[in-house]
A and B are shown apart, each in its own frame.
Chain A
Amino acid sequence: MRSDALKGHVDLLLLSVLEDAPAHGYRLAEALRDRSEATFDLAEGTLYPALYRLERRGLVTSRWETVSGRRRRVYRLTQQGAATLRTQREDWRAFAKAVEAVVT
C-alpha cells in the first residue's frame, strides 16, 4: 500500500501500537510492519516527525532509556493520547464500515 494512502492515519496507527506498551522508534516500525503483515510501504524515517508531532500535542511522552544495553528514546501514550485514540478509533470504524458498505 502506498504511503500517501496512509496520510491522516499514521497518528492512529502509532497511538494504537503504543497502547499495548511503550516502545522506541524501531520497535514501533517493526510492530507496524508485523501487525500489517508488511502491507504498508512506509518510509520508516517519517515515523519520527509523526512521533514528534504527537509529542508536541501532548498525546505521547518520551525519554531516553537504556534498553538491552543501548540508549533508546522510548515513547509512551499519555492519558490525553489514550482519549484521542478512543475517539480516532471510533471514527475509523465508522468510516471503514461506511466504505465497506459502499464498495461491496
Chain B
Amino acid sequence: MTIDGYLAGLERRLPRTRRRRFLAEAEEHLRDAAARHAAGGLSWQAAERAAVRDFGPVEVVARRLAAEAAVYETRGAALIALGAAALFVFPLYVVPENTLPPAQWAAKPTDITVLQVVTVTFWLTAVALAATSVAFTWTRWSHHTAHALVATGAGVMGSVLISAALVARWFTAAPVTSSWPLLAAPAALACLGTCVAAAAWARHRRTLLVR
C-alpha cells in the first residue's frame, strides 16, 4: 500500500476530533520512514510499503485514536453538564426568596424549607458529579468518565424534578407573580446539558468502556 492510499484509509476511519492534526503528523512520519528505508537500498515503492507496515494496520491505529478522541469529546460534554448544573445552582442557592413570587406568609411552611434544602443538596451533588466527570478526563482513569457522566445525568435530572416540586409547592403557597424566565432558562440549559452529556455517553460508551 502506498502512503497516500494508507492516509486515505486512515482519514475514512478517523473521528473528527484531532483528525487533521493526526493526518499531518502521520504523513510526516511515513515520509520520513520511507526515506530511511529508501536510503537503506529499497526502491521507493518498497520503501513506502515498509513505512506503512511499520506504522501499523489502519484499523488498529484508528481505533486507538478514536479512544483518545472519545475522551476529548466527553470532556466537552462533561464541561457543558458542569456549566448547566452550576448555572442552575446560582438562582436556586439564593432562592427561592429572590426568584419566586414574594411570599405572604408570616412563617415559611416547614415542608418548603425541607424542599429547599433537598433541592440545593441535589444540585450541589450534580455539580460535584459533573466536576468529577471533567476531572477524570485529566487523569489516567479517563475511562471512568463514561460512568461519571451517567451519574451526572441522573443527578441533573433528579435535580430538575425536585426543583419542579419545590416551584410547584411554592406557587401553591404564594400564588402571586411568577418569575418563569429566571427559572425556565437555567432549567432548559440544564436539560440541554444533560442531553449533550447523554449523547456523548451513548456515542462513546463502547470505546471508553473497552479501554
Q: A residues touching B (Cβ–Cβ < 8 Å)? A: 24-26, 29, 43-46, 48-50, 52-53, 56-58, 70-73
Majority secondary structure, B binding face: helix
- Selected contact of B25 from candidates A53, A56, A73, CB within 8 Å: A73
Main secondary structure of the interface of A (DSSP, over half): helix
Which of the 9-residue segments B55-63, B98-106, B157-165, B187-195 touches chain A? B55-63
**Is there an interface contact between B138 and A52, defined as CB atoms closer than 8 Å?**
no
Which one of A45, A57, A58 lies within 8 Å of B61 (CB-CB)?
A: A45
Interface bin, chain B: 20 to 34
Pairwise interchain contact B56-A43, C-beta atoms closer than 8 A: yes
Whether A46 contacts B64 by the Cβ 8 Å rule is yes
Cβ A43 vs Cβ B68 within 8 A: no
Chain B's closest residue to A53 (CB) is B68
Ordered nearest first, which 6 A-B pairs have the shortest CB separation? A43-B56, A45-B61, A49-B64, A45-B55, A45-B56, A26-B32
Interchain CB contact under 8 A, A70 and B26:
no
CB atoms of B18 and A52 under 8 A apart: yes
> In the complex, which residues 125-146 of chain B have their Cβ closer than 8 Å to any Cβ of chain A?
137-140, 142
* B67 contacts partner chain A, Cβ-Cβ < 8 Å: yes
| Contact A48–B26 (Cβ < 8 Å) | yes
A76 to chain B, nearest CB (A): 15
In the complex, residue of chain A having the shortest beta-carbon distance to the beta carbon of B67: A49
